[in-house]
Structure 1
Amino acid sequence: MRKLIHAIVLGLIGAVVLHIVIILALPHFTGKDAYTRVTLEGLPQRFYSLDSRPDRAGLANSDPFLKLAACAFDVSDAPVHLTASGSLPFWSIGVFDRDANEVYSMNDATAVEGKLDIIVATAAQLARLRAAAPDALAQTIFVEMPQPQGYAVLRAFAPQKSQIPDAQAFLAGAGCDQTAIDP
């Protein structure tokens, strides 16, 4: 009888573990993970604004006070320069790797002069950029990606209707461009 109870308990534990693994792996195998959805927005290295209704990629902005834009990128060939500026009550950005792990985040309070100026690159690309030490990049923040593919989500806070045009202009003017290593 003990062996039967032991086998049943082990079977139940195994089933629980198997179900957890399946649930956690499902987005990766179905193509519904965040990176895949952002890449479905359009061409890489470009911010795409998200509306309140889900778009063809299934992405939506459910917060009425935040305006969102997302950009997929690949730093295999060259670093990506994330830029934006404007007068807003608050903005923030999150840089994520392909697996949706947050690599870096910042907001307007921690940015130099309130402007977004980040270069996302591999470790080797960052070493070459730092060695060149161009004055033009003196106030740029460097972010090392653990893997070449990722995405950025830019958020602009617009708590009043009068601020929505500024938030939309901020997101429309945001850059997600590949940049040369030797400027």
Structure 2
Amino acid sequence: MTWTDRLLTFLLYALGVVFVAALVHLIAVLAMPELAPNDVYARLSAFAKTAAGPLLLPQPLPGRALTPFEDPALAQAVCMFDLSHGSLHVRGDVDHEGFVSLSFRSRDGRIFYAMTDKSAVHGKIDVRVLTEPQLEALQEQDDEDNPPQELRLVAPQVQGFVLISALLAYPSERAAAGARALAINCAPEAIAQN
């Protein structure tokens, strides 16, 4: 066996090891959300189990984060939803004194829509989160002469949550930022089925 044969054998072996390691890593990363029992939805559900509207999350501390990558410069509130009981209506008045953002997330934590206070129409946020059948039922009830002004979002999963974040420039502004986050109301609403 010549040195070129040994080099080719080593390179093929090394390439095989790298390929198997990359495949195992990819499978582990993709399977983790399905296999993790204490995902972000489970942690938030346990925290907000009795809340009917938005609930202010505690100030993030090292090692005690409810959501991934919590930022201490944000006051956050959460609205849990289960669309099997009706749509979720998210609305509120926003002033342009501070930054507010909303991220609509499915049960597995993936964002399916995000918006900021800059997208508010005349200082009002009005969003309805629903399933495809609920959207069809709501569209049947719409008046063609007066189209709805609300933004309608079809959620990819029946369960999920809305994360409302308000920016604070200084730690002393936490209460005011929390009040801005809680100014966004969210409540389930039934849709009459024809």
Interval containing the TM-score (normalised by the shorter chain): 0.7 to 0.9
1:25-40 to 2 correspondences below 5 Å = 25-40=31-46
Cα distance in 1 for residues equivalent to 2:43 and 2:13: 42
Cα deviation for residue 168 of structure 1 reads 1.8
Do the aligned partners of residues 40 and 56 (structure 1) sit closer, same or farther apart at CA in structure 2, a change above 3 Å counting?
farther
Secondary structure (helix, strand or coil) at the match of 1:22 reads helix
Q: Which deviates the most, 173-182 or 146-155?
A: 173-182
1:99 alignment partner in structure 2: 108
Matched, 1:168 2:178: yes
1:25-83 superposed Cα distances (whole Å, 9 cap, x missing partner) = 22431223322222222226532222122697734784343211122211123111112
Q: Which deviates the most, 51-60 or 40-49?
A: 51-60
1:10 alignment partner in structure 2: 16
Cα distance in 1 for residues equivalent to 2:72 and 2:63: 16
TM-score, normalised with respect to structure 2 = 0.76
Do the aligned partners of residues 77 and 108 (structure 1) sit closer, same or farther apart at CA in structure 2, a change above 3 Å counting?
same
1:77-116 to 2 correspondences below 5 Å = 77-87=85-95, 88-116=97-125
Question: Size of the alignment, in residue pairs?
Answer: 183
Do the aligned partners of residues 82 and 40 (structure 1) sit closer, same or farther apart at CA in structure 2, a change above 3 Å counting?
same
Cα deviation for residue 17 of structure 1 reads 0.8
Report if the CA contact (8 A) 1:156-1:170 is conserved.
Answer: yes
Secondary structure (helix, strand or coil) at the match of 2:71 reads coil
Matched, 1:74 2:82: yes
AA aligned opposite 1:77: H
Do the aligned partners of residues 179 and 55 (structure 1) sit closer, same or farther apart at CA in structure 2, a change above 3 Å counting?
farther
Cα deviation for residue 136 of structure 1 reads 9.5
Report if the CA contact (8 A) 1:69-1:153 is conserved.
Answer: yes
Unaligned runs of 5+ in 1: none
Root-mean-square deviation (CA), in Å?
A: 3.2
TM-score, normalised with respect to structure 1 = 0.80
Report if the CA contact (8 A) 1:97-1:149 is conserved.
Answer: yes
Match of 1:143 among 144, 153, 157: 153
% same residue: 28
Cα deviation for residue 164 of structure 1 reads 3.9
Q: Which deviates the most, 53-62 or 40-49?
A: 53-62
Cα distance in 1 for residues equivalent to 2:12 and 2:136: 56
Q: Which deviates the most, 155-164 or 142-151?
A: 155-164
